[in-house]
Amino acid sequence: MPVAIQVGVESIGDQLLNESLASLAAKTPGLFTTELEGGLIVKQYDFVVHSLKDMPTTLPEGLVLAAITEREDPRDALVLNAKHKGRNGLGGLPSGSVVGTSSVRREAIIKRDFPTLLVKMVRGNVGTRLGKLDNGEYDALILAAAGLTRLDMSDRIASYLDPSTFMYGVGQGALGLECRAEDVETINILQRTANHRPSQLRCEAERSLLRALQGGCQVPLGVHSSVSSSGEIHLRCTVMSPDGSQSIEESHSGTDSVKVGYELSLKLRKRGADKFMTGGEARPLTYGKP
């Protein structure tokens, strides 16, 4: 089947670069997906490709997540200014070094585990961020390893952050293919040609957890997941206060991906995770009227 690619669509998140992602997401759930989803609904596209970590866990009515591609390395990566070449990870940076990130999760972990470092917001595409690093505005950046790999920039990675302590974002490293629920033919094609079952199970568990906790870009929440050869899913999660001074960590395993995420959310709630949810209020479950 021939495929035509349409490019040039910019999301709200791509356009507004002077405000933090947490602030934008609180006002506009789906800030990286809404424009493309509007095109799906009016049949401008047959399916769209998202970074799965940018997709809200509840989609607009009539749309479905049809497939999840094989996941790239989900870990976070440390990129250093040239003057710090050879430093031993984040812990090797001098006190007062400025680390750039747009993620409240990464910021909370840095504040928790590396309190002598300073965190400063950085927005823009990867090239823009690296330019700011190289001109000395930052001493280091934390970026998704998958993004650097896809852009053939893995040579910029000074070290990978260990997910046993520096947990990654929900869905990080995977692509989500979204289409109309009524378009059975496209769903079947995407399932058959693009879906990667182990990645699907891991990401479904992570997204189920996030949905049950009603968290999003505003909540410092990290995960670490795996699938055994027998199909058992293991999921760990840490939920933190924005300043990293408080954190709760739990894990859960099972073979039903959605159930694993949901039951882990109950463990976290039992230990008080609700106090870290934004304002203590439920996150909106619908958004983006086309």
| Residue-averaged pLDDT of the chain | 86
In a domain, 285, yes or no: no
CATH number at residue 136: 3.40.190.10
Q: What is the mean pLDDT of residues 8-36?
A: 49
Domain boundary among 160, 191, 216: 160
Tell whether 139 is covered by a domain.
yes
- Indicate whether 61 and 200 sit together in one domain: yes
Query: Are residues 196 and 69 in contact, defined by beta-carbon separation less than 8 angstroms?
Result: yes
Residue with tokens 């710090």: 84
Residue range(s) defining the domain that contains residue 85: 76-160
Both 58 and 90 in one domain: the answer is no
Q: Are 254 and 264 in contact (CB under 8 A)?
A: no
Active site residue 139: no
Residue 19: per-residue pLDDT? 45
Helix (H, G, I), strand (E, B) or coil at 37: helix
* Domain total in the chain: 2
Residue 6 lies in a domain: no
- Read off the pLDDT of each residue in 1-6 and give the average, rounded to a whole number: 62
So what's the pLDDT on residue 217?
A: 58
Contact (CB, 8 A) for 93 and 199:
no
The answer to whether 73 and 125 are in contact (CB under 8 A) is: no
Q: How far apart are the first and last CA of the chain?
A: 28
Joined together, the tokens standing for residue 65 give 């997540």
C-beta of residue 210 within 8 angstroms of C-beta of residue 257 = no
The domain boundary residue, chosen from 140, 160, 180: 160
- Is residue 287 included in any domain, yes or no? no
For residue 149, give the nearest of 50, 83, 68, 76 by alpha carbon: 76
- Residues 175 and 237 grouped into a single domain: yes
| Each residue's pLDDT tens digit, 167-203 | 999 999 999 999 999 999 999 999 999 999 999 999 9
Tell me the per-residue pLDDT of 51-99, one tens digit each, with 9 for 90 and over. Answer: 999 888 888 889 999 999 999 999 999 999 999 999 889 999 999 999 9
> Catalytic pick from 14, 46, 54, 73?
54
Domain-embedded: residue 103:
yes
* Domain-located, residue 205: yes
177 lies in the same domain as 226: yes
| pLDDT score at 278 | 59
Of the pLDDT bands very low, low, confident and very high (cuts 50, 70, 90), residue 17 is very low
